[in-house]
Structures are given as structure tokens and as C-alpha cells.
């Protein structure tokens, strides 16, 4: 079982949030934003759901929580379900502010989200290109890392898992490649897209192909703990509970 | 220079790789690398070649002094001659037979004579079988639905005893579970009131020996107040003595803590490794249990019953609970002293017969995991997440060897962490 509200939080922070990483890692995304002469900020405000502002410039993209009052474009959305349909591309977003920037929405932003879809939902053929395979894995890593926190904070079963996690940092990563931190305080989770300065627990995948296979659901993490391809250390109960949430990420992102 | 060279575990890894081809995750459950916390995996033995007394040998020929005792069943020592002789004698007479072997009655009589709260015994195979029967009996007896658990519980892996976020578990599987904190009578009352009194039973281990945390022993006063609360509210009190049973008190851990359970579950130390479990209870629960449909293909096999009788008789003769308390105290005091000499603050918690260890110099168990790996890789088999077990074949020389290895391992970890000296 999934719920629309949790999915909306995942779509906002984990899926749209990955635009930050796409603009940093992908040449095609960099090319799209290179045409921006001035920064443009776009806010989504979902009733009874998440709100965030994305700011794009030719140097990249960053997301901040909440609606920035100085945003150039504001898109209020009447429900989580409707926001999820916008992300699925079956409902067209209508801004209430920034009609003069509609060109950005129709061209630049649409091109970026199309590219994100291409990267996150690739064809088997596209994944044969090693560079694209790496890009897909790294973007998925960030999406999954952020989705863990959203599920731990919003989903009924995810909240049960989070209720069993003690305070502190859980560092997840792909060895010598990319890291993220799930920071836990009072059973609330927040993802920071970098390594922890002082982790209480660590889960590290040995390489990109293993991480990709885990995210694709073609291998099981327990098997790879056993053969040493996944390293775990520290307060393993923290890793254990994050893995239970991770199990639900696939349910939402399928 | 290390006094105890690191073991080579090449054949273990090869055997594990072979296992993964035909067995899900190679070794599943608590004996495997994930639940067993082999950190890092290449320092651990995977499969054993043989075992004797307090030791087992892995497939590389390395010898380990074993403080996990197969996670409890090894209570007298591997291959105990008296238990094995009784088992072999019964094997020649008959094991899994259409009419159960008469030794089943002798086994039940032995338990009733030994366990203070037992007026009868119902036999199964694993701990989960007995905890499941106990909760069924509580519901059948009270015609109520909910069961109270105490936090950090482990009552086996059947779906009702798992948690809502575990793979394969539905919300319905655990819908009647209520989790309360330990040592909090007000929480029990609140749970009772919040559920309009629809509480069939309270299931708990005799003290908080949860994994990944310091263990907390209970007091007699605590258990007596819980006993009274259950009586006042018509709640069946179930003690899950699968892990601690016969190590604290041969009359049951409820007896040790000064109260009588309505139902008490035994398994690990019953028969020194022969596969059986037993639910025991008071006369007032006997008719209820008689009416429950519950059986298994091998539950009435004769060999484990014969082993159980011999095991209990030998535990009585040796007064193993007193022995375990003395040996557990001796080994943990030795470990603490060895740790302190190298700057480590080793915390010991729980009952000495089932001691739990944690290096407290950091807040994330990483130093502890390093030390445990150094110990295991030198032949001292302990764990970083679970309580340990004493067995009756353990000698003072074995303990001296254990402390020497522990000291060597502390030295190795200290060498890798010069920052600890500051």
C-alpha cells in the first residue's frame, strides 16, 4: 500500500530534488540551463502537502524547502494527488505568478524534466553506455537517499521503522564515488547529499554496478552483506531500519 | 607481536560462496553473516568441521572457544557423553514412531518436577512453536484478542512475532500486538484502557536481553507487580524463557525472579542441542491447551526427549546456574580488566550466565566491532550485538585462554587507534 501524500513528498524532494544533481552531473542538462541569462526560481505549493522552490541558473540548480516569496513562478496545486499527476505528466501545471516567465516553464523546465525522466527511466539499450549507466546510478542514488527520509517521515509503515532509529547520522554510499547522510533526530529523518562527519552507522556498496542492481531490485542486499560487497558498520539497528524503509522506496518509485 | 596469529579463513569463504549458489543468502538467520554481524565478513568462520566441549573447529581447521554456544543450545558442552549416550540408546529403540516413545512421559514428568510453575509440558521443536502456542492459549483462555509485548522483544520469527515493516509481513499479521516499554506499569494500564480491556496476554522475556543494546536485568519487585497486574486484569502472563531458560535457575527464570508465570516457553538449553522445545504451564491452563489444534511431524520424536531427561538431570547434578554465574563473572571481569589496560571501557550488562558486552569509548559500536573481529579472528568466538552464553564444559583454563586472546585483541585495536591514548 502506498499513499498519495507520501508520494507527493517523494516527487517533490526526491524526484524534483534530483534536478540539482542532474544539472551538476549531466552534460545535456548543463547545456539546457546554459541558455539562462538570469536565475529563475520556480515554487510548487501543494495544499496539505510539500512545498519547495527550485532555483535554476546557468551554474546549476538548487532546491530550498518552502515557497520563497521572491520566486519568479509560483504553481499552487490543490492536492497531493494532483501534484503526483503533474509529475506523471498527465496534468498540466498552471502558475498563478510569473506568467511572463512561462517560456521558462514550457521550454527549459520541461526539457530538464524530460531529461530527468530519460535518465531515471532508461531503456536497456541506453544503459549499455558506461557513462550513461554511471549517470543513471548516481541520480538514482540521490533520489533513493532523499526518498528514504520522506518515507520515514510520511508513510505509516515507514514511520514505524523511523520510530526505531536512534538519533545520529547513517551514512550510505558507493565506495569512493558518492555519499549521502540520513540524519535522524527524534525519529525525524533528513537527507544531506554528502558524507557524514561523524556517522553512527555506515552502509557502503562496493561499486556502481552493485548499487545499480540493488536500486533496480535485481539483487538482494542481504546476499551482498554476506559476500562482503556491502559493508555495514556501527549501530547496525540503524542500518537495519533504513533498509526496511529502503524496501518501501521501490514500492513508491516503481 | 601478536601472541595469537590471525586465522586464515579461505576455505570458509569458499564454502560460503558454494552455499550461496544453492541456499538463499548462504547462511540465513542468526548464524549467518547479516544477522550474525560478521563485521567484516572475511574475519569470520562460515561453516564448522567439528565441535567438542566449549570449542568448535571451522573448515580451515581453526579452533574457536565458543561463547555463543550455537546461540544457546550448547549448555553442557558439545558432544556431552551422558546426553549423547541417552540419545543414542533411544535412537536404537525408536525415534519418530506412530505411537510416541514412552520417554515422552518421562520427559514431561522431569520438567514438571524441575520447573516451579509447571504442572504439564507440551512439546514442539523450536522456540517459535512454543511462543505461538502460548499466545493461542492466552486467547483461547480469555476469549480476548490483543497481546502486550515489551520493547526490544524477540519471540521468534513467525509472522505474528515480527514487525509491521519486515518483508513479507502484513499489517493484519501484527494488528493485535501492543508494544509497551519495560519497567513501566502505567504503560500496561494505559494499553489495557486504550484497548477496552481486550488483552489476552502479556509475553515477555524474564529480563530485557534485547540485541544491540545494554541488557537490563529485572527486579523481583518488578515482576511481582506485573504478576499482580495480570491477575487483577485477567491477563495471561507468558514468560519466553527460550533464551535464558535453565541458565539462571533450573526451576525457571520466573522462579529466579520470584513469581509464577501462567505459561513458560523453553527451547535452547532443554536438550543440549537435540531439537525440541516445550511449553509448560499451571494446572489452570491445561484444559485450554488440551483443546488447541497444534502438532508437527517430528514434535513427539523420542530421541530429543531422552536427551532432555539426561540434560536436565546432569544440569541438576552440576548445579549449572551457580556454575554459570561464577564462570560468567570470572570471564567478564577478566575481559574488563584486559580492556582497561589498553584504555578501553568495556561495559558488561545482563545476567553473568548470558553476559552482554559493549566497548563504550565511542557511541557507535565501531570500536567494539573491531575488537570482536580481532577476537574472532584469533579464536575467541563472541559477538558484537547479542548476549553470550556460558556452558558447563567451560574450564578456568578456557577462561584464562579467552582473556589472553581478548587482551591480544584489545592491543591490536589500540594500536590501530592511537587517538585513544590521549
A-chain residue closest to B363, CA distance: A200
**B382: pLDDT strictly greater than 90:** yes
Percent of chain B with pLDDT over 90: 97
pLDDT at A210: 96
pLDDT at A111: 96
CATH topology of domain B81-318: 3.40.640
Look at residue A211 and give its three-state secondary structure: helix
Interface of A with B in 106-165 (CB under 8 A): 157-158, 160-161
Chain B CB contacts of A200 below 8 Å: 363-364
Q: Which of B20, B27, B37 sits opposite A236 (nearest CB)?
A: B37
Q: What ipTM was estimated for this complex?
A: 0.91
- Length of chain A, please? 254
Joined grid coordinates for residue A209 = 554496478
Distance from the Cα of A224 to chain B's closest Cα (Å) equals 8
Q: Which residues of A220-230 are buried (b: 16+ CB within 10 A; e: fewer)?
A: ebbbbbbbebb
Output the pLDDT for position B1.
66
Which of B42, B164, B363 shows the shortest C-beta gap to A228? B42
Q: Do residue B32 and residue A226 have CB atoms under 8 angstroms apart?
A: yes
Give A226's pLDDT tier (boundaries 50, 70, 90). very high
Whether residue B371 lies within 8 A of chain A, CB to CB, comes out as no
Instruction: Reply yes or no on whether the pLDDT at A190 is more than 80.
Output: yes
Q: Which of A206, A226, A235, A245 to mutate to test the interface with B (most CBs of B within 10 A)?
A: A226
Of chain A, the percentage scoring pLDDT greater than 70 comes to: 100
Q: Where are the domains of chain A?
A: 4-120, 126-253
Higher pLDDT, A168 or A253: A168
Of residues A222, A226, A233, nearest to B369 (C-beta): A233
Q: How far apart are CA B244 and CA B206, in angstroms?
A: 8
Facing B25 at nearest CB: one of A158, A226, A247 = A226
Q: pLDDT digit string (tens) for A54-106? A: 999 999 999 999 999 999 999 999 999 999 999 998 998 888 887 778 889 98
Helix, strand or coil for residue B316? helix
- Mean pLDDT value of segment A192-204: 97
**Residue A40 pLDDT:** 95
Predicted pLDDT of residue B141: 98
Chain B residue with minimal CA distance to A235? B364
Å between B373 CA and nearest CA of chain A: 12
Tell me the C-alpha distance between B380 and B408, whole Å: 11
Architecture field, domain A4-120: 2-Layer Sandwich (3.30)
Integer Cα distance of B151 and B180 in angstroms: 6
Topology of A126-253 in CATH? Nonspecific Lipid-transfer Protein; Chain A (3.30.1050)
Chain A contact set for B31 (CB, 8 A): none
User: Which of A160, A220, A228 lies at the smallest CB-CB distance from B40?
Assistant: A228
Cβ contacts below 8 Å, chain A against chain B, sum to 67
Residue A109 is classified by DSSP as I
Check pLDDT > 80 for residue B422.
Answer: no
Any CB–CB contact under 8 A between A88 and chain B? no
**B285 CB within 8 Å of a chain A CB:** no
Distance CA A147, CA B136 (A): 39
Which among A160, A237, A241 has the least Cβ separation from residue B164?
A160
Determine the distance from the C-alpha atom of residue B291 to the mean position of all C-alpha atoms in its chain, rounded to a whole number.
29
Judging by DSSP bridges, how do beta strands A168-174 and A178-185 pair with one another?
antiparallel
Give the residue, A35 or B251, on which the prediction is more confident. Answer: B251
Q: Residue B249 — pLDDT band, cuts 50, 70, 90?
A: very high
Name the DSSP class of B78: B
Q: Phi and psi dihedrals of A201, rounded to 5? A: -150, 150
8 Å CB contact of A236 and B41:
no
Give CA–CA dist A243/B396, Å, rounded: 42
Give the residue extent of every domain in chain B.
Answer: 10-78+320-421, 81-318
How far is CA B108 from its chain centroid? 22
- What residues of A are in contact with residue B25 (Cβ under 8 Å)? 220, 222-223, 226
Task: Give residue A95's pLDDT.
Answer: 84
Q: How far apart are CA B250 and CA B110, in angstroms?
A: 11
Q: What is the mean pLDDT of chain B?
A: 97
Q: Is B26 on the interface with A (CB under 8 A)?
A: yes
| CATH 3.40.50.970 is the classification of domain B10-78+320-421 | no
Contact A200 B37 (CB under 8 A): no
Nearest residue of A to residue B38, measured between CA atoms: A226
Q: Do B363 and A160 make contact, defined as CB atoms within 8 angstroms?
A: no
Pairwise CA distance, residues A210 & A224, whole Å? 9
Identify the band that residue A109 occupies on the pLDDT scale cut at 50, 70 and 90.
very high
- The strand pairing partners of B56, in sequence order, are B51, B64
Residues B163-218 have pLDDT tens digits of 999 999 999 999 999 999 999 999 999 999 999 999 999 999 999 999 889 999 99
Amino acid at each position: 500500500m502506498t499513499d498519495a501524500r507520501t508520494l507527493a513528498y517523494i516527487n517533490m524532494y526526491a524526484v524534483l530534488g534530483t534536478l540539482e544533481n542532474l544539472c551538476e552531473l549531466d552534460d545535456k542538462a548543463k547545456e539546457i540551463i546554459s541558455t539562462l541569462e538570469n536565475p529563475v526560481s520556480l515554487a510548487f505549493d501543494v495544499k496539505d502537502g510539500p512545498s519547495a522552490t527550485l532555483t535554476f541558473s546557468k551554474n546549476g540548480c538548487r532546491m530550498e524547502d518552502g515557497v520563497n516569496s521572491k520566486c519568479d513562478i509560483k504553481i499552487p496545486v490543490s492536492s497531493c494527488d494532483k501534484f503526483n499527476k503533474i509529475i506523471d505528466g498527465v496534468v498540466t501545471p498552471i502558475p498563478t505568478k510569473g506568467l511572463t516567465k512561462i517560456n521558462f516553464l514550457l521550454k527549459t523546465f520541461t526539457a530538464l524534466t524530460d531529461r530527468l525522466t530519460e535518465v531515471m527511466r532508461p531503456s536497456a539499450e541506453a544503459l549499455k553506455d558506461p557513462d550513461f549507466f554511471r549517470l543513471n546510478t548516481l541520480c538514482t542514488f540521490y533520489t533513493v537517499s532523499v526518498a528514504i527520509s520522506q518515507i520515514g517521515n510520511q508513510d505509516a509503515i515507514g514511520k514505524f521503522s523511523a520510530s526505531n532509529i536512534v538519533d545520529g547520522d547513517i551514512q550510505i554510499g558507493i565506495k569512493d564515488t558518492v555519499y549521502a547522510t540520513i540524519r535522524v533526530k527524534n525519529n525525524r529523518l533528513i537527507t544531506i547529499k554528502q558524507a557524514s562527519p561523524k556517522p553512527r552507522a555506515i552502509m557502503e556498496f562496493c561499486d556502481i554496478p552493485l548499487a545499480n542492481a540493488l536500486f533496480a531490485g535485481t539483487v538482494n542486499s542481504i546476499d551482498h552483506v554476506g559476500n562482503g560487497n556491502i559493508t555495514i558498520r556501527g549501530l547496525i539497528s540503524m542500518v537495519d531500519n533504513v533498509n526496511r524503509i529502503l524496501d518501501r522506496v521501490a514500492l513508491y518509485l516503481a | 607481536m601478536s601472541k595469537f596469529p590471525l586465522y586464515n579463513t579461505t576455505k570458509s569463504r569458499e564454502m560460503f560462496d558454494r552455499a550461496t549458489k544453492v541456499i538463499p543468502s548462504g547462511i540465513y538467520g542468526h548464524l549467518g553473516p547479516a544477522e550474525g554481524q560478521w563485521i567484516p565478513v572475511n574475519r569470520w568462520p562460515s561453516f564448522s568441521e567439528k565441535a567438542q566441549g566449549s570449542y568448535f573447529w571451522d573448515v580451515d581447521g581453526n579452533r574457536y572457544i565458543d561463547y555463543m554456544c550455537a546461540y544457546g543450545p550448547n549448555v553442557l558442552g558439545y558432544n556431552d557423553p551422558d546426553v549423547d549416550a541417552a540419545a543414542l540408546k533411544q535412537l536404537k529403540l525408536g525415534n519418530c514412531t506412530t505411537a510416541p516413545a514412552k520417554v515422552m512421559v518421562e520427559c514431561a514428568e522431569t520438567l514438571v518436577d524441575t520447573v516451579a510453575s509447571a504442572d504439564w509440558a507440551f512439546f514442539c521443536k523450536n522456540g517459535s512453536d512454543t511462543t505461538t502456542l502460548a499466545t493461542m492459549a492466552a486467547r483461547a483462555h480469555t476469549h480476548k484478542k490483543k497481546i502486550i509485548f515489551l520493547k526490544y522483544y524477540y519471540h521468534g520469527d513467525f509472522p505474528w512475532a515480527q514487525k509491521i515493516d519486515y518483508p513479507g509481513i502484513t499489517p493484519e499479521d501484527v494488528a493485535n500486538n501492543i508494544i509497551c516499554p519495560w519497567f513501566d506499569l502505567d504503560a500496561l494500564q494505559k494499553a489495557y484502557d486504550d484497548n477496552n480491556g481486550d488483552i489476552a496476554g502479556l509475553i515477555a522475556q524474564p529480563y530485557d536481553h534485547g540485541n544491540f543494546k545494554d541488557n537490563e536485568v529485572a527486579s523481583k519487585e518488578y515482576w511481582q507487580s506485573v504478576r499482580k497486574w495480570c491477575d487483577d486484569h485477567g491477563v495471561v502472563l507468558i514468560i519466553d524463557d527460550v533464551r535464558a531458560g535453565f541458565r539462571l535457575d533450573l526451576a525457571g527464570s520466573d522462579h529466579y525472579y520470584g513469581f509464577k508465570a501462567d505459561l513458560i516457553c523453553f527451547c535452547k538449553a532443554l536438550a543440549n542441542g537435540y531439537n525440541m522445545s516445550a511449553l509448560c504451564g499451571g494446572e489452570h491452563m491445561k484444559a485450554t491447551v488440551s483443546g488447541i489444534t497444534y502438532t508437527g511431524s517430528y514434535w513427539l520424536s523420542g530421541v530429543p526427549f531422552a536427551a532432555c531427561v539426561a540434560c536436565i538431570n546432569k544440569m541438576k547434578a552440576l548445579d549449572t546456574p551457580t556454575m554459570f554465574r561464577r564462570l560468567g563473572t570470572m570471564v567478564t571481569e577478566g575481559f574488563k580488566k584486559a580492556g582497561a589496560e589498553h584504555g578501553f571501557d568495556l561495559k558488561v550488562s545482563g545476567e553473568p550466565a548470558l553476559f552482554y558486552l559493549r566497548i563504550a569509548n565511542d557511541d557507535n559500536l565501531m570500536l567494539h566491532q573491531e575488537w570482536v573481529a580481532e577476537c574472532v579472528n584469533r579464536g575467541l568466538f563472541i559477538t558484537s550485538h547479542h548476549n553470550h552464553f556460558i556452558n558447563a564444559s567451560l574450564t578456568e583454563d578456557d577462561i584464562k585462554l579467552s582473556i589472553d586472546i581478548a587482551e591480544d585483541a584489545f592491543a591490536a585495536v589500540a594500536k590501530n587507534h592511537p587517538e585513544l591514548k590521549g
